[in-house]
């Protein structure tokens, strides 16, 4: 089965909600999630460390969906000041915060015997450390926001959702990916622990774990042979489109997953 599925249109699942999406510039999962959220009725603030691509992506989305629903701010998730600025900007620009999608991550390939401390630290700092910093900033803001709304008798407006981008490689072994696998397994564990704490103030925390979603950046950092091998492992005989991952992120951000927290949902057709 190698045919491409039809694109799924929006159904207003996130109508009137405000979301922050990291690493959302370009054609990857973050960019697809930004588009999907807009199609579902959300207001979004997108962040990315690549300022030029971020500006171009925000302009394109604003032209299509309207300038009042899209804003952007450069953000390097390894810098706590930039992370805090992104969340403060989102809350101020749209008047509150409802959803956070932690999509930022960094890969690479190196056998463990050849891996340098710098390679290890950089992947862990972006992929796991960045998710930690953004989750911490999101929960602090959502906790305060929910407490304030309860004081005003606005319980119906409390809540919030965090969705982290993990990977099936957090469960499954792959040569040359010790740093990335460790980081993504850490994202899964962080998700579970954060979910227990966030439940105390009405916030849900879940994660998606894609197997293979094709986008231009992946092509640049992965050899053709490895991409062919990874594609062969997929039961459908093809890679996922980024929007197929974004569909599951929409589900986790919406009311359809209201009883789910601490879960990592595999978005994969890999054979066991």
Residue 136 and residue 256: Cα distance in Å, rounded?
Answer: 24
Eight-state DSSP code of residue 13: T
Whose CA is closest to 169, among 126, 105, 102, 260? 105
Q: Are 189 and 233 in contact (CB under 8 A)?
A: no
Whose CA is closest to 191, among 251, 105, 114, 132? 132
Q: Is 180 a catalytic residue?
A: yes
Query: For the chain, how are helix, strand and coil distributed in percent, rounded to 5?
Result: 50, 15, 35
165: tokens are 């981008």
Q: What is the DSSP string of 139-167?
A: HHHHHHHHHHHHHTT-GGG---EEEEE--
Catalytic residue among 7, 180, 256, 259: 180
Residue 213 and residue 92: Cα distance in Å, rounded?
Answer: 33
**Residue 236 three-state SS:** coil
How many helices (DSSP H) and strands (DSSP E) are in the chain? 9, 7
Residue carrying the six token digits 């008047």: 95
Q: What is the DSSP string of 68-123?
A: GGEEEEE--TT-HHHHHHHHHHHHHHHSS--EEEE---------TTT--HHHHHHH
Catalytic residue set: 180
């Amino acid at each position: 089965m190698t045919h491409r599925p039809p694109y799924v249109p929006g159904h207003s699942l996130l109508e009137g909600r405000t979301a922050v999406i990291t690493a959302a510039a370009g054609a990857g999962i973050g960019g697809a999630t930004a588009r999907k959220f807009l199609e579902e009725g959300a207001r979004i603030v997108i962040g990315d460390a690549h300022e030029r691509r971020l500006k171009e992506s925000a302009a394109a989305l604003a032209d299509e969906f309207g300038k009042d629903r899209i804003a952007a701010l450069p953000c390097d998730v390894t810098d706590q000041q930039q992370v805090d600025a992104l969340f403060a900007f989102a809350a101020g620009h749209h008047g509150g915060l409802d959803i956070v999608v932690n999509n930022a991550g960094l890969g690479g390939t190196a056998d463990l015997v050849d891996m340098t401390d710098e390679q290890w630290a950089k992947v862990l700092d972006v992929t796991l450390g960045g998710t930690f910093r953004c989750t911490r900033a999101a929960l602090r803001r959502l906790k305060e926001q929910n407490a304030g709304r309860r004081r005003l008798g606005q319980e119906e407006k409390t809540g919030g959702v965090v969705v982290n981008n993990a990977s099936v490689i957090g469960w499954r072994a792959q040569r040359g990916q010790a740093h990335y696998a460790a980081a993504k397994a850490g994202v899964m564990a962080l998700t579970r622990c954060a979910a227990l704490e966030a439940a105390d103030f009405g916030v849900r925390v879940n994660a998606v774990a894609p197997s293979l979603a094709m986008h231009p950046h992946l092509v640049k950092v992965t050899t053709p042979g490895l991409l062919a091998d990874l594609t062969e492992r997929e039961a459908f005989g093809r890679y996922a489109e980024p929007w197929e991952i974004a569909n599951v992120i929409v589900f986790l951000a919406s009311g359809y997953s209201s009883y789910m927290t601490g879960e990592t949902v595999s978005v994969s057709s890999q054979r066991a």
